[in-house]
Structure 1
Amino acid sequence: MNKIKLLSAVGTAVAIAVVAASCGDQTTRSTGWEFSRNMYDPIGYNPDQPNANFKDGKTAQIPPAGTTPVGFERFPYSASNEDYERAGVELVNPLVHTAENLEQGKALYQVYCAVCHGPEGHGDGSITKDRTLEAESRQLENFPPPPSYARSDSINSSRGGRMADLTDGKIYHTITYGLNMMGSHASQLSPEERWKVVMYVRELQKN
């Protein structure tokens, strides 16, 4: 029994000491003993930390010239009219013309393009028409309609030639860089999605 009492007393004393040590004396910011510190202290450098492994002492480095980030597809054409024309000659839609690709292109067009170009590509999207904000009875601003893609409308592009005659490359270039009041859609649509939209626009040109 004496041994049991002794062990109990020692255990109680150790427990009290541990609790007291963990609480601190209010004069230090030490948290006491730490368990598995490498589990929450990162081994790697943070981007804004100094780094002696590089000559300039910085962790964040500019990618080497000529490299392409993973998942990024480089577009070797500038936004100039010259490269627009070059893209129109050199680029052809790499996707196979299937019902599935066409349907996906239509869905993307309805989301990103129809609001301006109209559901059938006639340039009669919802923001080109009179609209009223009913909650405030306020007339909303109208935007000028873009030219129609339809062959039956025989509308010319602002860069020359009929809209119905725009090639795959010219349409893709315009989606990538934008034109006039149309902004770039490169951040909204991946290269594959842009080609699907191109496929659907080519169908609209037949109207």
Structure 2
Amino acid sequence: MKALYKIALLVTVSTVFTACFNKSKPNYQYFPNMYESVAYETYSESAAFANGKEGQLPAKGSIPRGFVPYEYPNTTEGYELAKANLKSPLTPEEVNLEKGTKLFNIYCAICHGEKGDGKGNLVKREKFLGVPSYKDRVITEGSVFHVETYGLNSMGSHANQLSQHERWQVAAYVMKLKSEL
């Protein structure tokens, strides 16, 4: 008897589902905007935004998550302040000279040389002249970090290529090179 009820239920359910189907007129669509989305032209004005022209801007004074603002300005005074006062936030356990070496060889050695003597490949080929040796410079970790962040003279900023943590790793390695020269 139970089998008969199951068969009757199956026939009823299948009849209900097939009876509503019409190939010329499809059934209801859930979330029709997902199936037939509105096409927007790239860089066109849109009523989706408050001013109609550009996307929503972040609130004034907001900073990206995980970003630590750098308080020293890109001036000679800022450089001197960083040289005198800025200290690495990395603990001795966090300083990874192996990683600093790799990053230095990728981004810095082409000009500064692998030993920090100012004799990198670009200097040897006379593409850049006057790259000083670290031995001849009065530098601190803070000044190295400041120059990596903003650049100095013909050296550009490396803030886009290296995170703050990586720049501190490179600064620690530069100070190690300076002590060896």
With the length of structure 1 as denominator, give the TM-score of the two structures: 0.64
Which digits, 9 at most, give the CA deviation of each residue in 1:77-134, with x for residues without a partner?
221001111112221011123486111111100100000000000000011113xxxx
Secondary structure at the counterpart of residue 96 of structure 2: helix
Q: Give runs of aligned pairs for residues 98-177 of structure 1, distance below 5 A.
A: 98=93, 101-130=96-125, 142-150=127-135, 155=136, 163=137, 165-177=138-150
Stretches of structure 2 lacking an aligned partner (at least 5 in a row): 1-18
Shift of 1:37: 1.9
Contact 2:95–2:169 (CA<8 Å) still a contact in 1?
A: no
Take 1:174 and 1:117, find their aligned partners in 2: how far apart are those partners?
13
Residue 4 of structure 2 corresponds to which residue in structure 1? none
Take 2:127 and 2:53, find their aligned partners in 1: how far apart are those partners?
50
Paired residue type of 1:178: G
Q: Give runs of aligned pairs for residues 69-80 of structure 1, distance below 5 A.
A: 69-80=64-75
Residue 79 of structure 2 corresponds to which residue in structure 1? 84
Residue 96, structure 1, aligned to residue 91, structure 2? yes
Paired residue type of 2:175: R
Q: Give runs of aligned pairs for residues 9-24 of structure 1, distance below 5 A.
A: 15=23, 18=24
Contact 2:95–2:172 (CA<8 Å) still a contact in 1?
A: no
What's the C-alpha RMSD, in Å, of the aligned pairs?
3.2
Take 2:103 and 2:55, find their aligned partners in 1: how far apart are those partners?
36
Stretches of structure 1 lacking an aligned partner (at least 5 in a row): 1-10, 23-32, 131-140, 156-162
Residue 65 of structure 1 corresponds to which residue in structure 2? 60
Greater share of residues in helix: 2
Structure 2 residue corresponding to 1:49, chosen from 46, 50, 53: 46
Alignment length (residue pairs): 157
Take 1:76 and 1:65, find their aligned partners in 2: how far apart are those partners?
17
Residue 15 of structure 2 corresponds to which residue in structure 1? none
Paired residue type of 1:110: N
Contact 1:122–1:148 (CA<8 Å) still a contact in 2?
A: yes
**CA shift in 2, pair 1:34/1:184, >3 Å:** same
Percent of paired sites with the same residue: 40
**CA shift in 2, pair 1:59/1:34, >3 Å:** farther
Take 1:77 and 1:61, find their aligned partners in 2: how far apart are those partners?
29
Contact 1:127–1:142 (CA<8 Å) still a contact in 2?
A: yes
